[in-house]
Structure 1
Amino acid sequence: MQTGATFRLTGDHDRSAASVTRLLDLEPSHIFEAGDRVGHRSGAIRRESLWLLSSDLPPDSELADHLHWLLDRLEPKADTLWQLTSQGYVADWFCLAASQATEHAIELDRRLLRRLLAMPGDLLLDVMGDDD
């Protein structure tokens, strides 16, 4: 089983990832600004900014543990996150779960779901096979 979770804030060209870092006073895992090039070879220009905070737990951790890790860091910033979403940023919790067909079940208990519901952003689950 491989898992991971990332909290993402996306903003249009008027909303920067750097300002999210300043407002949250929290170091992101990655940021991308609107107007930046996408990759080194592509001529495409990024249309939106993106602020990412990813769990740094090992990929064989439970998905719930990744989400708890993120929530422990983001819950103290909940008011600011709600303010950012009211200003037009879009929030989500992007989760990956890759497993063999009969290997593992993902459990998200009521306590975790209550914590997520108190925060901005939809829960996105990318569930796939773990093919070598």
Structure 2
Amino acid sequence: MRTGATFRLSGDHGGSAALVTRLLDLEPSCAFEVGDPVGRRSGAVRRVSLWLLSPDLPPGSELSDHLHWLLDKLEPKADTVWRLTGQGYVADWFCLAASRVTEHAIVLDRPLLRRILALPGDLLLDVMGDDD
């Protein structure tokens, strides 16, 4: 079973990832600015800034563990996250669940969902098979 979750803030309105880092006082797992190259050889540049926060949890951790980790970091900053979305940043919770057929159930209980709902952003679930 492979799982992961990333809280993402994108600034397609000209906002910067550096501003998100400064206002949240959290180091992102990864950040990109408008104008940064996309890939190594394509010649394309980013049209939006992107600020990503992902847990560094052991392989096989439950998806809910990833989300709880993110919430523990972001809930104390909820007012700032809401302010950023009010300024035009787009938030989402991008989640991965990759499993062999009938191997595992993902549990997102009501208390966890309530915590997610207290912050901005849609919950995106990428569910797929895990073929080695």
* TM range, smaller chain: over 0.9
Within 5 Å, give how 1:1-132 maps onto structure 2: 1-12=1-12, 14-132=14-132
Give, in angstroms, the shift of residue 14 of structure 1. 1.5
Partners in 2 of 1:71 and 1:59 — Cα distance? 19
SS of 1:50's partner is: strand
Give the unaligned 5+ runs of structure 1. Answer: none
* Cα distance between partner residues in 1 of 2:13 and 2:83: 18
- Measured in 1, the distance between the counterparts of 2:10 and 2:108 equals 25
Letter in 1 for 2:17: A
Amino acid at match of 1:48: V
Residues 63-121 of structure 1: CA distance to partner in whole angstroms, max 9, x if unpaired?
A: 00000000000000000000000000000000000000110000000100000000000
What percentage of residue pairs aligned between the two structures are identical? 81
3-state SS, counterpart of residue 72 of structure 1: helix
Residues in 1 aligned to 2:13 and 2:116: alpha-carbon distance in whole angstroms:
27
Mapped partners of 1:123, 1:57: distance in 2: 20
Look up the SS of the partner of 2:124 in the other structure: strand
TM-superposed CA distance for 1:12, in Å, is 1.6
Q: What is the rounded CA distance, in whole Å, between the counterparts of 1:48 and 1:123 in structure 2?
A: 20
Normalised to the residue count of structure 1, the TM-score between the two structures is 0.98
Q: CA deviation at 1:13?
A: 5.2
**What's the Cα RMSD here?**
0.7
